[in-house]
Amino acid sequence: MIDGTFAAGVGIKRHDRFGHELSVGTGDTYSGRGLGRRLVAQAARRVIDQEAVPTYLHDPRNIASAKVVEAAGFAGDAPVIDRLVAFLGRDPMGRQD
């Protein structure tokens, strides 16, 4: 809340020990200011620190959500786990090559 108006918020839904789904909402007044991107990126780092895989699902028709997920680093051609291994320098699931 900023001056009594909803600005932005993020949630983490823990599906199991390894998979945590992120969601974000941004108030109309604060849309386009990078709040959603920063919240999703911070939540993703927290999930990674817990050695789980952050996921972010959205309706492909939701352009604003697609922009948030891309800006937060979830977009790309590599599978999520490959990007996570590259980021962490290790497999969060403990798998060996």
Let me know if residue 93 belongs to a domain. no
* pLDDT (tens digit per residue) in 31-52: 889 999 999 999 998 998 888 8
Let me know if residue 1 belongs to a domain. no
pLDDT of the residue at 62: 81
Helix (H) or strand (E) holding 66: helix 63-71
Distance between CA atoms of residues 62 and 21, nearest Å = 17
pLDDT band of residue 8 (cuts 50, 70, 90) is very high
Let me know if residue 95 belongs to a domain. no
CA 12 to chain CA centroid, nearest Å: 9
Let me know if residue 3 belongs to a domain. no
Which residues form the domain of 35? Answer: 8-88
| Count of structural domains, the chain | 1
Let me know if residue 97 belongs to a domain. no
- CATH code assigned at 64: 3.40.630.30
